[in-house]
Structure formats: structure tokens, C-alpha cells
Structure 1
Amino acid sequence: MSALIASKIQSNPKYLQLVRQRDTLAWTLSALVCVMYFGFTLMIAFAPDVLTQPIAADSVIPMGMLMGVGVIFFSCVLTGVYVYKANTVFDPIVNEIVREASK
């Protein structure tokens, strides 16, 4: 890519808005992941009795196992949210910005 095209892209208001939207989404999802992982870790440290309780009266599966699987599942869901948003919202904007800069 030439320096002229790169400067056109960087000065495009759509590009600046795209960067803001993408950064906001990335920081929001990152904060959710941090809260989830640190929350789970803090529960292990400060509330182990909650994690060792069975999920039902006659169950042998502890609540911590269910919560650990939930952490992994939620991480996958958040990754899917980002990929979906990138493919359906961000990529078309990127293509439009590049097309405009190439004119």
C-alpha cells in the first residue's frame, strides 16, 4: 500500500470512527473476561465452600466444576461475539474505506 493511500485512510472520518468502535468493543470484552477470570479466582481464594457445594442435593458434581465450565463457555461466546461483529460490521466498513482511498 502506498503512503498516499495510507494517509487517505488514516484521515478518513469513517476510519477514525471504526477505530473508536473497535477499541470500545475490544476493551469491553476484555474487561468482561478479566472480571470473569479474576472473580472465579477470587472465589477459589475467599469462598471455596461455595465452589465445593454440590449443584443439587443428590449430585456429586460440585458448583465449582459448573462455574469453571461456565468460564470457558463464556470466553468462547465472547470470542464469537467479537468475530461476528468484526465480520458483519467492521469488515464492510474497512472495505468501503479502502475502496474510497483507492479512487
Structure 2
Amino acid sequence: MHHASLDQSRFQELVRKKWSISLSLTALMLTIYFGFILLLAFGRHVLAQKVGTYIPLGIPVGLGVIVSACVLTGLYVRWANTVYDRSVKDCIESMKR
């Protein structure tokens, strides 16, 4: 019985960690995205400033939002494919014994 409760607590910790990382990355992405939207709504003059001769600041900032989404997704996938998958595998193996 002790072994089953140990497996269950290990599994619950794994679920908590997954939710914690997922929600943290989601909150970060939403902050970046809505920050950009709010800047568009209330600070257009900032984004209209020119970078160089022809490009408004809004273009590189918008690209930064897109790149940040890709980077955050990549970070999550890397974590999931290394740490999380290994932990799931270890948890399943321990439950088989």
C-alpha cells in the first residue's frame, strides 16, 4: 500500500509541475501579446516612430511578438521532450513493479 501512495504522490507532483510550467509560459505569452495590443491601442505614436529610414518600430516589435511565441513554444517542447517525458517514463516503470 505504501508503494501505491508513493507512486500516486509522484504522479501528482508531475502533474503539478506540468501545469505550473504550462501556465507560466501561457501567462508570459499573454503578457507579451496583450502588451503589444495595448501599445497598439494607446501608444500608436511610439510604434509609428521610424527605425532607420523606412521601417516603423511596430514592424520589429510585431516580429518580436511572433518570435517570442516560437521561442516559448520551443522551450516548452524541449522541456516536455526531455524532463517531462523521462519523468512520465520513470513513473510508469515504477508503477509496473
**Which 5+ residue runs of structure 2 have no aligned equivalent?**
none
List structure 1 runs of 4+ shifted beyond 3 angstroms.
Answer: none
Tell me which of 21, 43, 65 is aligned to 1:47.
43
| Distance of 1:55 and 1:88 partners within structure 2 | 40
Please state how far the C-alpha of 1:12 moved relative to its aligned partner. Answer: 2.1
2:59 aligns with: 65
- Kindly indicate which of the two structures has a greater share of residues assigned to strand: 2
| Distance of 1:55 and 1:39 partners within structure 2 | 20
Tell me which of 6, 21, 24 is aligned to 1:25.
21
How many residues are treated as equivalent by the alignment?
94
Q: What TM-score results when the alignment is normalised by the length of structure 2?
A: 0.89
Q: Secondary structure at the match of 1:50?
A: helix
Pairs within 5 Å for 1:1-103: 12-56=8-52, 59-103=53-97
C-alpha distance after superposition, 1:38-81 (max 9, x if no partner) = 1100011100000110113xx21110000000000000000001
Query: What fraction of aligned residue pairs are identical, expressed as a percent?
Result: 39
Aligned-pair Cα RMSD in Å? 1.7
| Distance of 1:88 and 1:100 partners within structure 2 | 18
